[in-house]
Each structure stands twice: as structure tokens, then as C-alpha cells.
């Protein structure tokens, strides 16, 4: 990721919705070295912020509805959540949660793109988002997996003003040419029950060691560590509750 902090239109925070918050805290502490801090206010509903050192890097929250899947969610920074929500509708997306205030820290909305992938919008107030990117334990890349790449290629630039660097195999999203993510077309290798989604990748010091730590902590390796074009080593992992995430070697070219 060529972004080193939250910028308007770019990924600014990731959040895990999980069926077992305490187990998730232990797992990610073991695998990514996170230090969790749970908001003590009752109205916060157990919301937990994961830190690397003293810097916030991710959020963890209990599931609020039985139908809510265990999953990682990606939030993109917006200047005006209400105006962005209207662009989502106009561009063919669907609002799953209308913009709403989160205490005094920001304004938040959840949407579905035309291909069925969920994403979030975050209008910052006192909390701009993650304070660390591209370093071990922090977000380093986001990837859209979709069965409707042509629709996504129109939708996201319309909503967020992104650029899309074309490629026959792996187009890359950017802001003013600074790439922060990619797009993968879901083919017949993906089971029909796997919904389109955004996948966060966290930077790690050693991809092989992180994969091993994942299995030791009760998770699973879905894609074994391997190098992409001899430049970037990645793996795709699953936590014990079923949330999927990726890791890549910190400092590797994106």
C-alpha cells in the first residue's frame, strides 16, 4: 500500500465482527501481536480496539444480529457520509445501514456494492482511523473479490474517486495513482456460497511464521505462503471463528 495514513477515499480502518470476542482477542494477540482494549461503556457493546504498541490498528466487535456473518470489514474514509451514501445509491449500490453517529468519534454507514460485496464508510471526527499502516501488525493492502469486475470498475471510482490501474490479471485501486488495493475476479474455483467481499491484508515480519502461528492458535491456512512475481510474499488465513484475512511481508513492494 502506497498510502501511509487515512486519506479521503482510501481505506482508513478495518473491523472484525466475531462470534467470540475473547477468543478473537487471544488469537490475534498470538498471531499479529495485537494488544486489545475494550471500551468499558455499556453503550459501546463490547467494542474493542486492537493496538500495536500504543497505536490503534483495528477494531473488534461482537455480532449484533444472528444473520451477521463472522467477517472482516473494510472502512473507507469520506468527507461526508450522507453525500457518499447518496452516491452509492445513484451508482447502483445498496445501503445496509444509513449514516449514523458513533459517539463523538465519527459518522458511519454500511453499504453493498452492485456485485454484492459489503463495505463501510467512515466520516472521521475525533477518530480518523488506524494510526499505522504497512508495518508489522498493521493494515497493508485491501482486495476486492468479486464476480462483477466490470460493475466494480465503474462503481467505486464513481463513489470514491478512485483510479484503477488496468491489468488482465489483477487491476489495482488507487488515489491519485497511489495504489492501496486490488481486484480479483471470482471464478469457478470459488464455491458458490462464498460471497463477494473485501479482504484485508496485514503486514507481518515473516509470512511463514505467521501461517504457522495461525494453525497453532486454532486457525487455518487457506492459501499457503507464496511469492507473487518474486516480489511480495503473501498467505490467506482464517481465524478460529471463521473470519478470513490475508498477510504479506512488511516492506515488500505493492
pLDDT tens readout for residues 161-187: 999 998 888 999 999 889 999 999 999
Domain boundary among 124, 149, 176: 124
Query: Are residue 17 and residue 72 in the same domain, yes or no?
Result: yes
Are residues 67 and 39 part of one domain?
Answer: yes
Instruction: Examine residue 133 and state whether it is found in any structural domain, yes or no.
Output: no
Q: What is the pLDDT of residue 41?
A: 78
Structural domain contains residue 2: no
What CATH code is carried by the domain that includes residue 111?
A: 3.10.180.10
pLDDT of residue 254: 42
Quote the pLDDT of residue 229. Answer: 62
Are 58 and 156 members of one domain? no
Report the domain count for the chain. 2
Q: Go through the chain and tell me how many residues it has.
A: 254
Q: How far is CA 36 from CA 23, 39, 137, 199, in A?
A: 12, 10, 13, 21
pTM value? 0.94
Per the structure, the complete domain to which residue 188 belongs is given by: 139-249
CB 191 within 8 A of CB 237: no
Please tell me the distance from the alpha carbon of residue 8 to that of residue 94, in angstroms, as a whole number.
Answer: 21
In a shared domain, residues 182 and 110: no
* Residue 189 covered by a domain: yes
Model pLDDT, residue 253 = 44
Q: Given 66, 95, 124, which residue is the final one in a domain?
A: 124
Give residue for cell 471463528. Answer: 241
Q: Secondary structure of 157-198 in the HEC alphabet?
A: HHHHCCEEECCCCCCEEEECCEEEEEEEECCCCCCCCCCCEE
2: confidence class by pLDDT, cuts 50, 70, 90: confident
145 CB neighbour count, 10 Å cutoff: 20
Q: Tell whether 19 and 119 lie within a shared domain.
A: yes
Do 99 and 147 lie in one domain? The reply is no
In this structure, the answer to whether residues 79 and 144 fall within a common structural domain is no
User: Same domain, yes or no, for 96 and 156?
Assistant: no
Tens digit of each residue's pLDDT (9 = 90 or more) over 189-221: 999 999 999 999 999 999 999 999 999 999 999
> Which of these three, 124, 159, 193, is where a domain ends?
124
How much is the average pLDDT of 99-128?
A: 95
- pLDDT tens digits for range 46-93: 789 999 999 999 999 999 887 889 999 999 999 999 999 999 999 999
pLDDT band at 124 (very low <50, low <70, confident <90, very high): very high
The pLDDT of residue 231 is above 80: no
Q: How many CB atoms lie within 10 A of CB 109?
A: 22
In a shared domain, residues 19 and 87 = yes
Measured in whole angstroms, how far is the alpha carbon of residue 149 from the centre of its chain? 18
Q: Is the per-residue pLDDT at 40 higher than 90?
A: no
Amino acid at each position: 500500500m502506497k498510502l501511509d495514513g487515512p486519506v479521503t477515499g482510501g481505506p482508513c480502518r478495518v473491523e472484525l465482527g466475531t462470534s467470540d470476542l475473547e477468543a478473537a482477542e487471544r488469537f490475534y494477540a498470538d498471531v499479529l501481536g495485537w494488544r486489545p482494549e475494550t471500551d468499558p461503556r455499556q453503550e459501546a457493546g463490547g467494542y474493542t480496539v486492537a493496538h500495536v504498541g500504543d497505536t490503534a490498528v483495528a477494531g473488534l466487535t461482537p455480532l449484533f444480529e444472528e444473520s451477521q456473518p463472522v467477517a472482516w470489514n473494510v472502512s473507507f474514509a469520506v468527507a461526508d457520509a450522507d453525500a457518499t451514501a447518496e452516491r452509492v445509491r445513484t451508482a447502483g449500490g445498496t445501503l445496509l445501514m444509513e449514516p449514523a453517529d458513533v459517539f463523538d468519534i465519527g459518522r458511519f454507514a454500511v453499504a453493498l456494492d452492485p456485485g454484492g460485496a459489503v463495505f463501510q464508510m467512515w466520516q472521521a471526527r475525533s477518530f480518523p482511523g488506524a494510526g499505522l499502516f504497512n508495518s508489522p501488525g498493521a493494515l497493508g493492502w485491501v482486495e476486492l473479490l468479486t464476480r462483477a469486475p466490470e460493475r466494480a470498475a465503474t462503481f467505486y471510482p464513481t463513489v470514491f474517486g478512485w483510479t484503477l490501474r488496468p491489468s488482465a490479471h489483477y487491476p489495482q485501486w488507487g488515489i491519485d495513482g497511489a495504489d492501496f488495493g486490488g481486484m480479483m475476479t471470482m471464478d469457478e474455483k470459488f464455491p458458490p456460497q462464498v460471497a463477494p467481499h473485501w479482504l484485508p491484508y496485514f503486514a507481518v515480519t515473516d509470512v511463514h511464521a505467521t501461517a504457522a502461528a495461525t494453525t497453532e492458535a486454532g486457525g487455518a491456512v487457506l492459501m499457503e505462503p507464496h511469492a507473487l512475481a518474486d516480489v511480495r510474499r503473501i498467505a490467506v488465513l482464517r481465524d478460529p471463528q471463521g473470519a478470513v484475512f490475508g498477510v504479506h511481508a512488511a516492506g515488500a513492494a505493492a
